[in-house]
Amino acid sequence: MSVEKLQPAKKLQATRSQAAKSNGWRAQALQLAAIVLAVFIAKGALAEPFYVPSGSMEPTLLIGDAILASKYPYGYSTASLPIQINLPETRRVLEGTPKRGDVVVFRWPGDRAQAWVKRVVGLPGDRIQMRQGQLFINDHAASLKPDGIAQAEDDNGGAESAYRYIETLPNGVSHEIFKLRDNGRLDNTPEVTVPPGHLFVMGDNRDNSADSRVAVRDGGVGMLPMDDLVGRADAVVGSWDLGMRHQPVWTWLSGFRLARFFTAVH
């Protein structure tokens, strides 16, 4: 008799247990969805990490750097989305204009699935020209101060000697640049005027950068539409020497450039 009375209680207990497990799975799924949504919103509205695969911004950014791009300084457009989907082009919301000297991440006009990073040297209305390897903005020369010899890494892991200079833009912003050779193919260019809504960007590795000196059809950036901006590169959050890929696995940890972790981009 006592056994028969306990059976319904066991069934009820089992049912409640199953319901509790089901509710637990639902709660975990909702928490996971909330985390994914929060990350998506943060990447879309606040900042997004990017990886530097080439040496065009040396010595400021090295191959293997992981950088964080802040999105709020320049406002938002479809380029700000953390995933690239085909949406109609729209104007930027909460639009802000970069300053000369800002290092920016943007969608390459030739293929918006690709994110590139360069330095802004020209704003709308500016007249830009290279004369014998020196940058001129509105007929004012950016000063160059020699700063020794360094090693510039190429995309294949090799290195070559480079002249290092401190370049100071007319607005007082200073940064390091590399010059690999004199009389490079992009050292002398015709003067161009930056059109409204566009920027003139350059790589700090002046002889190894396809930037606004090179047309999009030739693999460069051309005049960069501000609507293609993703954000401002503010920090290096991590860095690993890709040359270590060719070394034994047990030596890979030594490839981390700890001195570059959590450093500001200038």
Catalytic residue numbers read 56, 118
Distance CA 229, CA 206 (A): 21
- Name the residue among 233, 237, 263 with its Cα closest to residue 119: 233
213 in Cβ contact with 55 (< 8 Å):
no
Using CB atoms within 10 Å of the CB of residue 113, give its burial: 0 to 12 exposed, 13 to 18 middle, 19+ buried. Answer: exposed
Q: Which helix (H) or strand (E) holds 162?
A: strand 159-168
Non-local CB neighbours of 96 within 8 Å, separated by 6+ positions: 73, 74, 75
Q: Where are the alpha helices (DSSP H) in the chain?
A: 2-45
- Secondary structure class of 113 (helix, strand, coil): coil
DSSP H or E stretch at residue 116: strand 115-122
DSSP label at residue 212 = T
Cα torsion 68, 74, 78, 79 to 10°: value is: -40
CA–CA distance, 49 with 157 (Å, rounded to integer): 23
